[in-house]
């Protein structure tokens, strides 16, 4: 029987991953301190999992969580570029020190593999698109620095301790359960709420900035593949996980207006510090190593997301 630990398993991506693991027959344990995760995200499966209310910054807690586990999916993080700019110390404690705790605990517990939620924020503003994993990183925020440091720790633990690790650089994951109410909410969560409430879309910049928006089901697929892939223990691959196409914010607005039968306007404001202008992933390496191929496109993902928010 395969046993998995999902740190941050009550979060937006983590809770979807928990459901995906259960469907695959895993015994699932979740570690979350509910700083950004929500208990309601796990409500449909709470009787099928073991839930530990704890923090990755506490090594003893993480050690206990890693006992008798085959695979650790490290999703726990303090998300948001903006939040990290305002509080770099807290971002560092959770995203760097917390990740190191997870690796130490996994190594000492004899875990087979750690799958790490890395971020496309590590690339920064690259003149060349699509972004490929061999590019020199250029992080523009404490959040991006923290996620990049996590990748380096994954690599070092693979090389020094034969702990199999793999880093998945997520590109703008969106979907149901993303919290639109916080000031750090993902742009699609905010836009979806605006579409349903008939409010203008708040845009920082001219709306022509692009992202490789990726429906959450694609990210779950990548994690499941990463857990099972045949890997050299010292290899520690780094892979882009995205849909593989660029979509501008203005295009997202057009799609949401089309899906809701409206013509809501955008309210354009100044650009935000630390934000990347354009993002687009090459999926060549993920395809070669994991046979990863996204299954849900942006428009269908938006339709499903709208449906979920309507049902809340």
- Annotated catalytic residues are 143
Token pair of 240 as six digits: 């882009």
Token pair of 174 as six digits: 């969106």
Confirm if 174 and 301 have CB atoms less than 8 A apart: yes
What gap in Å lies between CA 183 and CA 274, rounded to an integer?
16
Confirm if 75 and 13 have CB atoms less than 8 A apart: yes
């Amino acid at each position: 029987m395969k046993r998995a630990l999902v740190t941050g398993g009550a979060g937006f991506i983590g809770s979807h991953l928990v459901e995906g693991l259960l469907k695959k027959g895993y015994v699932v344990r979740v570690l979350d301190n509910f700083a950004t995760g929500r208990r309601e995200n796990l409500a449909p499966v709470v009787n099928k999992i073991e839930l530990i209310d704890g923090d990755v910054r506490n090594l003893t807690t993480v050690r206990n969580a890693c006992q008798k586990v085959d695979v650790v999916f490290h999703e726990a993080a303090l998300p948001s570029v903006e939040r990290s700019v305002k509080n770099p110390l807290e971002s560092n404690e959770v995203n760097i020190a917390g990740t190191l705790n997870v690796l130490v605990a996994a190594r000492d517990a004899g875990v087979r593999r750690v799958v790490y939620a890395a971020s496309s924020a590590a690339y920064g503003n690259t003149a060349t698109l699509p972004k490929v994993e061999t590019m020199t990183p250029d992080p523009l925020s404490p959040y991006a620095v923290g996620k990049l440091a996590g990748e380096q720790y994954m690599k070092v633990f693979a090389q020094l301790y034969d702990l199999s690790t793999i880093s998945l650089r997520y590109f703008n994951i969106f979907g149901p359960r993303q919290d639109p109410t916080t000031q750090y909410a993902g742009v699609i969560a905010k836009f979806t709420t605006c579409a349903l409430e008939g409010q203008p879309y708040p845009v920082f910049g001219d709306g022509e900035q692009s992202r490789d928006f990726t429906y959450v089901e694609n990210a779950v697929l990548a994690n499941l593949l990463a857990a099972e892939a045949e890997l050299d223990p010292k290899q520690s691959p780094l892979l882009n996980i995205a849909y593989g196409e660029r979509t501008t914010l203005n295009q997202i607005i057009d799609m949401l207006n089309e899906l809701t039968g409206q013509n809501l306007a955008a309210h354009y404001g100044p650009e935000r510090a630390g934000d990347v202008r354009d993002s687009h992933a090459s999926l060549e390496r993920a395809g070669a190593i994991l046979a990863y191929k996204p299954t849900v496109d942006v428009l269908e993902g938006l339709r499903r997301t709208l449906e979920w928010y309507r049902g809340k």
